[in-house]
Amino acid sequence: MSSSVTTLTQQPFSVRSVTRLLGRIGPAYYALLILLIVAAASQERFLTGPNLTNLIRNSTVLGIVTIGQIATMLVAGIDLSVGSVISLTTVIAALQMESHPEATPGIVLLCLLIGLLIGAVNGFGIGYLRLNPLIFTLASGTAIQGLTLHLLYSPGGSVTREFRELSRGAIGPFDCSFCPGGTLGPIPYAAIYLLVLYVVGTWVLKRTVFGLAVYAVGGNEASARLSGLRTERIKLAVYILSSIFAVLGGLFLASRIGSGDPLVGDPYTLDSITAGVLGGTSLFGGVGDLWGGLAAVLTLGVLSTMLNFNNVSPFYQFIIKGVILIGALAIGYLRTRRKTV
């Protein structure tokens, strides 16, 4: 029997596989680790509860939006409309809550429905009409930006007091025998949101049939289609998710700033792409995961905290962010370069 079995060699556990595993860990983890060490070593105040809480709250919006952005990148797409969706959400939430404070849950639902609709339009154009995602979400983003400014031209409106608690609240403190001072926390709600969303998001991407389909579509769309996957439908779902996450980010932001701002979401479009790329997600689809993205989001957060502590003009963070973004991918290339035409 054994002679007739064609054994296709199985790779043994080796040093090579370990270095490969290390290679697969995105640059974001390294960056985060190094930054954390440097920050903790150079600034006593860094590892204090209030500072960490603040860091997490400041990273939450980007953290949430990045989940959706990574999903679109995994299907070899991109979503340039998330920034305007965030702005639109803050505006609608603030305006509606100001006039109908009693209907807060309904308003949240309304925002999510709007997100669903926007995502459906994006997903239809990209999935079914096969339009270029960059241009199509640029177009929808521009239109949504116009709508947002139409609703509210300069910052205004206000959210309800209870709604503000969503971003400002915390639970705890808890007893914790091995923590300094014997207690842990208080843990901000924001940390819980992030943890829940990333755990659920990872579960969906890594464990479910839908997640497998997302990777398959991004990895080789033709193959996915020939294997019987409804690639259009999968893309539609991904863009709907992206818009919904943008709405969730927008709701958190509205809660945090307490009002609506028609331009406040703008930076999140490019920042979420930065976080995705930095977290090891490929712009060409099929490769990447959420935890790398979260590490990248926190890296950016720690970075700006450090600059603050060291009294560096916050403007340098733009430059540093750009260098990190390009550098992360350049290092990846330098590690694996081979000369071919």
Give the footprint of another protein on residues 149-188 (CB under 8 A): 149-150, 153
Phi, psi of 170 (to 5 degrees): -155, 160
**Under rule CB under 8 A, residue 13 binds another protein:** no
DSSP structure class, residue 76: T
**Piece of 30-38, 54-62, 89-97, 145-153 that binds another protein (CB under 8 A):** 145-153
CB 59 within 8 A of CB 301: yes
Is residue 170 within 8 Å of residue 186, measured between CB atoms? yes
Among 25, 176, 179, 226, binds another protein (CB under 8 A): 226
Least Cα distance to 283 among 121, 157, 177, 134 occurs for 134
Q: Is the Cβ of residue 190 or residue 236 nearer to another protein in the bound state?
A: 236
Distance in angstroms (rounded) separating the CA atoms of residues 34 and 226: 44
Task: For another protein, give the closer residue by CB, 4 or 177.
Answer: 4
Q: Minimum Å distance from CB 27 to another protein? A: 12
Nearest CB to another protein, comparing residues 173 and 219: 219
Q: How far is the CB of 12 from another protein (least distance, A)?
A: 11
Q: Does 308 bind another protein (CB under 8 A)?
A: no
Residues 83-122 that bind another protein (CB under 8 A): none
Q: How far is the CB of 285 from another protein (least distance, A)?
A: 9
**Residue ranges in 264-283 that form contacts with another protein under rule CB under 8 A:** 270, 273-274, 277, 283
- Minimum distance, C-beta of residue 202 to another protein, in the bound complex (Å): 13
Please identify, using beta-carbon distances, which residue of 130 and 161 lies nearer to another protein.
130
Specify whether the CB–CB gap between 93 and 250 falls below 8 A: yes
> Does 219 help bind another protein (rule: CB under 8 A)?
yes
Smallest distance from another protein to CB 216, Å: 5
- Under the criterion CB under 8 A, does residue 128 sit at the interface with another protein? no
CB 193 within 8 A of CB 60: yes
Based on the shown chain and the rule CB under 8 A, indicate whether residue 220 belongs to the binding site for another protein. Answer: yes
Q: What is the dihedral sign for C-alpha 187, 191, 196, 199? A: negative
225 binds another protein (CB under 8 A): yes
Residue 274: which residues within 8 A CB-CB, separation 6 or more?
A: 296, 300, 321, 325
Kindly tell me the sign of the dihedral angle through the C-alpha atoms of 49, 52, 55, 60: negative
Under the binding rule (CB under 8 A), the answer on residue 16 touching another protein is no
Binding span for another protein by CB under 8 A among 90-98, 100-108, 234-242, 324-332:
324-332
Query: Under the phi-then-psi rule, with left for phi > 0, alpha for psi from -120 to 50, and beta for the rest, what region is 58?
Result: alpha
CB of 99 to another protein, least distance (A): 20
CB nearer another protein, residue 176 or residue 326: 326
Residues 17-76 that bind another protein (CB under 8 A): none
**C-beta of 125: minimal distance to another protein in Å?**
7
Question: For residues 320 and 63, what is the distance between their CA atoms, to the nearest angstrom?
Answer: 19
Mask 199-218, x = binds another protein (CB under 8 A)?
Answer: --------xxxxxx--xx-x
Phi, then psi, of 183 in degrees rounded to 5: -130, 155
Whole-number Å distance between alpha carbons of 177 and 244 = 39
Residue 134 binds another protein, judged by CB under 8 A: yes
Q: Which tokens sit at 203?
A: 């579960």
Q: Which is nearer to another protein, 218 or 292 (CB)?
A: 218
- Residue number, 70 or 190, with CB nearest to another protein: 70
Give the distance between the most distant pair of CA atoms in the chain. Answer: 80
Rounded CA separation 66/70 (Å): 6
310 makes contact with another protein (CB under 8 A): no
Neighbour tally for 231: CB within 10 Å: 22
Nearest CA-CA partner of 72 in 230, 259, 251, 269: 269
